[in-house]
A and B are shown apart, each in its own frame.
Chain A
């Protein structure tokens, strides 16, 4: 094995943060708190931005970029002291409570399903499918996810479509096989259910 990778792997022995399921971030938080927090922010922020935009559009129309971003910052600021303090499997439920506290129930409802789909998503085994779907869900899926991912990952649109289709099938398999019905219900406030 090449020297540098020998050094790296002997010390590292850890997967990249961007591959870790939410439930496993807590263990890494002990040694890399800022990096884990940054990864959490990176995963959640675009959706929280949508929730904040929904809130500001209703509360203080017309919403401005600065006001929406300030609300996003307040959501994370509210949650940070309790980040990684409880049951690691309940991190999204805890964060959802912070979103409702700072914004409101309606704002969270605007993103809830897409928000909770991120939980099983990081259990997907196929790196490429997981990267495409995680990036897509982080953006809130959007009306043109295949075109968006094609541009982001520099692949043809039909290739992005194939990867997303396969990824969605794999994600459903993960939902069916990696969690019990009770676990899913508890960890996603009943937003995601097994079909079988």
Chain B
């Protein structure tokens, strides 16, 4: 005699052998208990040091990893020269004495992204301002996702051009999650690397002080381009697809002012850069900002500050 489960599963088109196994599992109580929500993360944390490392060869990521600071500076200087001379950017790039893979990576950057550097040079303003919201984009994604790494590379190039012209670099306002326990070790490791190696100026703001930026990512590029992202996403690909892009100089100007106002309430991180060496350091810093303790009030944070 068929059970209710069998009838339901058959009606849904599951194969007989799957139905039989599912019914047996139900009878043995295998659906009575469920794994903890964090078991995937704990498994990855426990096993990640056991993973085999495969050397990269011609992968895009390998080319990206191999880009050195001198290569970026050489590229940035050349772009500036090309813009000034109004020459063809790509023809000049081909003449640069750079490794083939590095040049190939650089050529992927759209010209209009590089144009934010022109805006910065002419207006004497930051080339871009960004709200990097940890409630929208997981910090750990910046470590492995090729699209986000491409974004970071673009920032490095634009920041280098800006700095060579005496203009401040991009401003990044990190909006933290309300609960320190919602971060993973990978998240802290990614935050630590970001803070330690950033070419942008970075601030952290606790969730409850972030106001309108609590639930969104915002990027203001140059004078008029605005990108916004709201919601929660399962992976970086879905997040990228959900960005809403607009060209409106009034909105962009207003957002630049608003982000600037929020930055005044945030903690600037440049003094912590060299003090963050391990993921635990990043955790300490994030926890203090969430709890709104200043470095002077927290022995842990002040240690990070002093070591810089």
Contacts and interface: CB of A to CB of B under 8 A. Distances in A.
Contact of A29 (B40, B54, B146, B151): B54
A45 B39 contact: yes
A50 B191 CA distance: 35
Report the contact-size class of chain B (Cβ under 8 Å from the partner): 35 or more
Nearest to B235: A16
Contacts of B61: 31-32
A37 B48 contact: yes
A100 interface: no
Contacts of B50: 77, 80-81
B44 A5 contact: no
A183 to B, nearest CB: 18
Interface residues of A, number: 68
Contact of A113 (B17, B35, B149, B243): B17
A3 B28 contact: no
B151 A77 contact: no
B43 A76 contact: yes
Contacts of A31: 56, 59-62, 146
Q: Indicate the member of A69, A167, A172 with the most B CB atoms within 10 Å.
A: A69
A141 B18 CA distance: 8
Given A3-B110, A3-B113, A146-B12, A77 B150 contact: no
Contacts of A65: 33, 36
B42 A73 contact: yes
B99 interface: no
B90 interface: no
A3 B46 contact: no
Contacts of B57: 30
B60 A11 contact: yes
Q: Indicate the member of B47, B59, B60 with the most A CB atoms within 10 Å.
A: B47
A4 B240 contact: yes
Interface stretch (B19-27, B72-80, B163-171, B195-203): B19-27
A57 interface: yes
A112 interface: yes
Contact of A143 (B8, B33, B146, B227): B8
B84 interface: no
Interface in A29-60: 29-35, 37-38, 41-42, 45-46, 49-50, 53-54, 57
A111 interface: yes
B150 A50 contact: no
Contacts of B180: none
Contact of B52 (A8, A16, A84): A84
A134 to B, nearest CB: 12
B52 A83 contact: yes
A73 B52 contact: no
A5 B240 contact: yes
Given A30-B54, A57-B28, A81-B52, A141 B22 contact: yes
Contacts of B12: 145-146, 161, 164-165, 168
A72 B52 CA distance: 20
Contacts of A17: 235
A72 B35 contact: yes
A35 B46 contact: no
7 contacts: A3-B110, A7-B109, A30-B57, A32-B144, A50-B25, A50-B30, A113-B15
Interface of A: 2-12, 14-18, 29-35, 37-38, 41-42, 45-46, 49-50, 53-54, 57, 63, 65, 68-69, 72-73, 76-77, 80-81, 83-85, 110-114, 117, 140-146, 161, 164-165, 167-169, 172, 191
